[in-house]
Structure 1
Amino acid sequence: MNKLAGETSPYLQQHAHNPVHWYPWGEEALQKALQEDKPILVSIGYAACHWCHVMERESFEDEATARIMNEHFINIKIDREERPDLDHIYMDAVQAMTGAGGWPLNVFLTPDKRPFYGGTYFPPVKAYNRPSWKEVLLALAQAFKERRSDIEEQASNLTGHLSQSNQFGTLSASIVNIPREELFNREQCDTIFRNIMAQADKTWGGFGRAPKFPGTFTIQYLLRYHHSFDAPEALQQALLSLDKMLQGGMYDQLGGGFARYSTDDRWLAPHFEKMLYDNALLVDTLCEAWQLTRNPVYAQTIKDTLAFVEREMTDAQGGFYAALDADSEGEEGKFYTWSKAEVDAILGEKSPLFCEYYDVTEPGNWEGKNILWVQRPLSAFAAEKGLDAGALQEQLHASRQQLLAARATRVRPGLDDKVLLGWNALMIHAYAKAYAALGDPHYLDMAVRAMDFCWEHMRREGNEPAFYHTWKAGQGKHPAFLDDYAFLVRALILLQEVTGNQDWLSRARQLVELVIARFSDEAGSYFYYTTVGQRDVIVRKKEVYDGATPSGNAVMAANLWYLAIAFDNRHWDGRALDMLARLAQTVVRYPTSFGVWASTILQMVKGTRELAVVGPEYLARVQEVNDCYIPFKVLLGAEKDQPGFPLLQQRERAGETLIYLCENYHCIKPVNYIEEIINLKK
């Protein structure tokens, strides 16, 4: 009776042999619940989730527990990465009920899909101040039979709450019509900065207490705020956050790449899963830090992280895989941790220095084992030991390579090899940005190859450029969501900037037109997460929080602003301003939850540099522009004037390559090199 064997999701495949009668989300399960008038148990997780594995071993593989589930419920398993729309809805419901959320997410629905009870991990016996999973199952089964009216009332209240949560951003028309200079001002940017710093950990970097997430959007705001207003404190906190992450166990000191978050304040102990999106967003941020500081550590980390992505998370056809598991051989972090005896045996006489530098000890620094991390920068450690920093760096590199080779013989963590459109777009953007910052053409090749993969394999049939959300084993599934399209447009915009090929920008415009047609809300301001006509969700949600990944609405606002300038579309820039103005007060108050929005407010205050490069040497000049740190720009380049692109019209001069700096299409005298534009970076 378990119906998951035919699914392509690695997470659902992990549960295909449970004695639970699992169904995938779909008509068969939903109709069965209505016909038998049974409550639905929806259990949501993802392939790299440690606690999902724990609950599976403890409860879903247990015959006695499965019998209770099968008798009283229609049981549905969902991969949150395949169906983030359902995850958003039912996570919101559980957070409203309990004040907390996470995965595994276990939520109970009426037969018509409305939530009435839920939680996250439940232990097999009562523990951690939580009831046992069996107790929960039996109590809810009894309540559904004996107190149905109470359950229906709770379901109605929660569904009403979900609908009400879409009612945000109210703003009077008179305010919307205020000029941009009055809607957005320096005081807002300063308040955002102060509110960020109020949450900043000034010792270990990051924001808030453990568990600590990377906070890339907040770090980017601080970098851009410093660049805009010469604020050393902002730069210091941004770089401290990056440096401590790079030195910590959250960063894989041997193989490159970042884990999802740290369980402690010091970035020592991660949950060891590696997600594609985190690595993309951290590369993005490190590129900006490199351009601003030219610190070679940032450049090297970009290279090492992208080498990891190419080595371990890239499909042979060019797409990028979703995640690597936290567990191997049933144990969290086993692949990544070391005993001192193992290190000594591999490194021999080099071991003492290596162990001191990376904090490898006999008792261990985490659960009796050692996570490699750096407590003192290499230069300080070398000075303390009286060693040449260059020689020390070479020795440590050689030792890391030995350990990496030894680690390669271990049982590897599971790979979630589905290809997600939005996460791929984030990584395409990261590769294109790495090419812009570091100039390595291989990064551009990787970005273009992945975009070609998405365009070839994830397009849905029909005349419109509509896409699937996920792809695996030659099969695309589920209509793409708002953030898929938003991130894809963002990646296309940057590909145009680094290649000078306007075809990418034309594709971006096509997709924006599709998003406006299929995702717009009734007021024509924000965008729903799901496409029009989708019937299996109880509410169409509008997501605006910048969480682990950016909000699709936040990215669409920035996309609309950019493309409005590129194509001289006044309606699009008006809509972008409307979206931003309606949320501005909330963004200023809670900037760490609205980091992408915060940067767009900063852009409105500082202005957008409109840059046009025209002439036979345009590609070289475009690369020189991209090498500079200019966070708020629209950049177009071409050999000749281009019809349909206002910035590229009437710019051509025979035999010359010229750079135009413009605002509202009014340009200062063109120059031959970017360095000639005085104060461009400010």
Structure 2
Amino acid sequence: MYNGTLTGIRTNKLVDEKSPYLLQHAYNPVNWYPWNEEAFEKARLEDKPIFLSIGYSTCHWCHVMAHESFEDEEVAKLMNDTFISIKVDREERPDIDNIYMTVCQMLTGSGGWPLTVIMTPDKKPFFAGTYIPKTSKYGRIGMIELTNKTKELWSQEKDRLFDSAEHISQRVKEATKNSPGDLLGKEVIDLCFKQLSNSYDSKNGGFGNSPKFPTPHNLLFLMNYYRINKEQKALDIVVKTLDSMSMGGIYDHIGYGFHRYSTDEKWLLPHFEKMLYDQAMLTLAYTECYNITKNTYFKEIAESILEYCNRVLLSKEGAFYSAEDADSEGEEGKFYVWSIKELRDILDDQELELLSRVYNLKESGNFKDEATRRFTGYNILHLKEKLSEVSEDKYDDNLNSTLDKIRKTLFKKREQRVHPHMDDKILTDWNGLIIGALSRAAAIFNREDLAKAASKCADFFIGSIEDNGSLFHRYCKGQWNISGNVDDYSFMIFGLIELYEATFNDRYLKKAIDLMNEQIKNFWDDEGGFYFTSSNEEEVLTRIKEIYDGAIPSGNSISFTNLFRLSRITGETKYEGYAEKLQKAFSDIIEESPIAYTQMVSGILLSLSKSEEIVVVGDINSDEFKNYISNIRSVCTPASVIIAKNANESNPMIHEIADYTRYQDRVDGKTTIYICRNFTCNEPVTSLSEAISMIGKI
């Protein structure tokens, strides 16, 4: 046992870690180890199985299992006698989580966190599950029974456990192999749209029943499908879903930002944690919907999400923290809900009446406890109709200003509550997404402040690469650690490409290309696709290649689009070659159920669509140039790319990046536009209206 102490309190070996999740367990009576060779060597020397627990700091059921079992002296004693226990933060080590989650889904048909795995000292699993109560109930084995049973089997039937572990490990290796197929065409794209249409909830928006996840990449695919195929139903699904989510309780109407998911089909009762990646992906979805519809409502929601990120998640370095917990003071959602009694002490009668009517508040509460099915006495603010559609009453003349005043009053009061725990580690992959979201919003909304925020965040990571020589996965408490995985590379490349298109700073495009080349060198499989981990890193059971687009898109899906876009920008056909081979590597599995791979299918849709390389040459800091870019953005296809060349530089970096721009100059000293298809360009034009009329026509 680790006998470290901190102010006289017993600690375990997690006390020296940086991860907020591991530190939450540093004072457990369980003798936790971080994932390291010391733990596995100790298991071999003491002839004990490994108990592996994987979770994250804002995970509600991880907290529940910790309180019930890992903080319990009886359970801890049994665990310490039976196991060498290892804690892993899934957000720090997604490589470990991916492997053992595959095991759990293979053995049980489902997965989730906390993830519980029991395995041999050589990392081969023979048991997997998720949340486990202290004692057996509801048909679920308890920690006490599981530990005693494992101890008995390890003592009496170890050979059988090892045989089972070997068999499971081989199944995992087989399951993670893929056989290359053919390039996919329009059929798989149309099937993806059909599957999304069939699972669409036309009453409440979103897909399927409860629980409901935002899955913004589904919506981004549908918007690309609409723009390219002019299929109105695709846009209608997006608009209804984005409307419904922003009116529901999954959206924080007081402090902004979106909660993780809705436990019901109406988007009312959320799982209250807030994740950085959800904010980023939803910003992209609302921004793109505004770009298509020009409905300012979607712009306002996107800007409110970014306001939340900048106010709550922004670190002093300019990068963004990972998440806010669902729980505060030991209760899920306590920070966010309101009783009528409390509101009476804050608002006057007229304000309370208006708030209750507009946001559907009730004396008995407006949601039920899931266990008792009784109303809780608390309320979650939500709308049944947009504020612009609220029926006439005496507040009509200044309804929005009155509600905004009430919101600010409630926000100020809520700030006095105990806040949910903040997971303050900075993850490269999720920050890549928020850089992309800030950049896209900056470009579409003409918000220079958002571009500056994206640049500051990107510069933090670029500086790290220059200092450390490569991309790391996690920064926490002043320390970089854990080598970058394919998500870190692909998401950061995505963010940098978006940042280039928002600022036309060639430095960001050059860094995206450098990272892409490094990703290919260290992650590429010659049979096609990218492994999740670098060839230089530890192999846990096997190296896997992720393609499933779950809560966030997979690194391979994002990489496909990155490769396509970089090939269009640079004229380097090698990137398109990698993209084709990547698609072939997964084509058979995508073809079976494209709805599970919507980000990848969206990339395929773009690759098959009419695209143009639009080069604008001029003074990139001038108002005229910015006006040209803004108008071109509004009409070009989603598969097209815009490249800017600064005529004030004698040898701009873009010449090195995209050689075909070398001889494209201004005509008569005017801002000049070259519209190209497959790098064959038409005659340059200086008239914006003429250029607009030509885009999409050549």
TM-score (norm 1): 0.95
- Comparing 251-260 with 627-636, greater Cα deviation is found at 627-636
Partners of 1:436 and 1:627 within 8 A in 2: no
Whole-angstrom distance in 2 between the partners of 1:126 and 1:298: 48
Whole-angstrom distance in 1 between the partners of 2:415 and 2:110: 38
Whole-angstrom distance in 2 between the partners of 1:681 and 1:589: 33
Whole-angstrom distance in 1 between the partners of 2:237 and 2:661: 39
Counterparts in 2 of 1:146-545, with a 5 A limit? 146-171=156-181, 175=182, 183-185=184-186, 187-348=187-348, 349-366=350-367, 367=369, 368=376, 369-383=378-392, 385=393, 388=396, 391-457=398-464, 461-462=468-469, 466-523=470-527, 525-535=528-538, 537-545=540-548
Match of 2:21 among 7, 11, 15: 11
Whole-angstrom distance in 2 between the partners of 1:155 and 1:84: 21
Q: Equivalent residue of 1:346, what SS?
A: coil
Q: Equivalent residue of 2:655, what SS?
A: coil
* Structure 1 residue 131 displacement after superposition: 1.5
* Structure 1 residue 15 displacement after superposition: 0.5
Whole-angstrom distance in 1 between the partners of 2:394 and 2:592: 49
Whole-angstrom distance in 1 between the partners of 2:449 and 2:25: 39
Q: Equivalent residue of 2:118, what SS?
A: strand
Whole-angstrom distance in 2 between the partners of 1:198 and 1:473: 47
Counterparts in 2 of 1:22-171, with a 5 A limit? 22-171=32-181
- Matching of residue 595 in structure 1 with residue 598 in structure 2: yes
| Alignment deviations for residues 477-528 of structure 1 (CA, whole Å, 9 cap, x no partner) | 10010010001111111111111222211111111111111111142x1111
* Structure 1 residue 628 displacement after superposition: 5.0
The amino acid that maps onto 1:110 is T
Consecutive unaligned residues of structure 1, counting only runs of 5 or more, are 177-182
The amino acid that maps onto 1:272 is F
Q: Equivalent residue of 2:13, what SS?
A: coil
* Structure 1 residue 456 displacement after superposition: 2.0
* Structure 1 residue 459 displacement after superposition: 5.4
- Matching of residue 546 in structure 1 with residue 555 in structure 2: no
- Comparing 236-245 with 661-670, greater Cα deviation is found at 661-670
Whole-angstrom distance in 2 between the partners of 1:522 and 1:631: 30
| Alignment deviations for residues 256-279 of structure 1 (CA, whole Å, 9 cap, x no partner) | 101111111011111100000000
User: Equivalent residue for 2:641?
Assistant: 634
The amino acid that maps onto 1:569 is E
Whole-angstrom distance in 2 between the partners of 1:310 and 1:98: 40
Whole-angstrom distance in 2 between the partners of 1:256 and 1:265: 21
The amino acid that maps onto 1:678 is S
Identity %: 38
* Structure 1 residue 32 displacement after superposition: 0.8
Whole-angstrom distance in 1 between the partners of 2:614 and 2:89: 43
* Structure 1 residue 224 displacement after superposition: 1.3
Whole-angstrom distance in 2 between the partners of 1:605 and 1:564: 14
Whole-angstrom distance in 1 between the partners of 2:689 and 2:129: 57
Q: Equivalent residue of 1:471, what SS?
A: strand
- Matching of residue 604 in structure 1 with residue 607 in structure 2: yes
Whole-angstrom distance in 1 between the partners of 2:655 and 2:332: 57
| Alignment deviations for residues 366-387 of structure 1 (CA, whole Å, 9 cap, x no partner) | 231111111122233234x475
Partners of 1:254 and 1:400 within 8 A in 2: yes
Whole-angstrom distance in 2 between the partners of 1:327 and 1:393: 31
The amino acid that maps onto 1:471 is Y
Whole-angstrom distance in 1 between the partners of 2:381 and 2:62: 26
Q: Equivalent residue of 1:594, what SS?
A: helix
The amino acid that maps onto 2:677 is E
Q: Equivalent residue of 1:210, what SS?
A: coil
Q: Equivalent residue of 2:140, what SS?
A: coil
The amino acid that maps onto 1:661 is I
Whole-angstrom distance in 2 between the partners of 1:477 and 1:56: 26
Partners of 1:588 and 1:598 within 8 A in 2: no
- Residue 459 to residue 333, structure 1, CA distance change in 2 (3 Å): farther
* Structure 1 residue 122 displacement after superposition: 0.8
Counterparts in 2 of 1:609-628, with a 5 A limit? 609-616=612-619, 617=622, 618-627=625-634
Partners of 2:180 and 2:584 within 8 A in 1: no
Partners of 1:457 and 1:474 within 8 A in 2: no
- Residue 405 to residue 459, structure 1, CA distance change in 2 (3 Å): same
Whole-angstrom distance in 2 between the partners of 1:456 and 1:116: 43
- Matching of residue 665 in structure 1 with residue 668 in structure 2: no
- Residue 595 to residue 386, structure 1, CA distance change in 2 (3 Å): farther
User: Equivalent residue for 2:568?
Assistant: 565
The amino acid that maps onto 1:319 is A
Whole-angstrom distance in 1 between the partners of 2:70 and 2:139: 21
- Residue 438 to residue 662, structure 1, CA distance change in 2 (3 Å): same
| Alignment deviations for residues 257-303 of structure 1 (CA, whole Å, 9 cap, x no partner) | 01111111011111100000000000011110010011111111111
Partners of 2:567 and 2:575 within 8 A in 1: yes
* Structure 1 residue 570 displacement after superposition: 1.7
Partners of 1:257 and 1:304 within 8 A in 2: yes
Q: Equivalent residue of 2:669, what SS?
A: coil
Partners of 2:523 and 2:533 within 8 A in 1: yes
Whole-angstrom distance in 1 between the partners of 2:252 and 2:597: 28
| Alignment deviations for residues 342-393 of structure 1 (CA, whole Å, 9 cap, x no partner) | 122212121111111111111112231111111122233234x4753x6211
Whole-angstrom distance in 1 between the partners of 2:176 and 2:68: 37
> RMSD of aligned C-alpha atoms?
1.7
- Comparing 549-558 with 407-416, greater Cα deviation is found at 549-558
TM-score (norm 2): 0.92
User: Equivalent residue for 1:555?
Assistant: 558
* Structure 1 residue 643 displacement after superposition: 2.2
- Comparing 250-259 with 147-156, greater Cα deviation is found at 147-156
Partners of 2:188 and 2:594 within 8 A in 1: no
Partners of 2:180 and 2:588 within 8 A in 1: no
* Structure 1 residue 674 displacement after superposition: 5.2
The amino acid that maps onto 2:611 is T
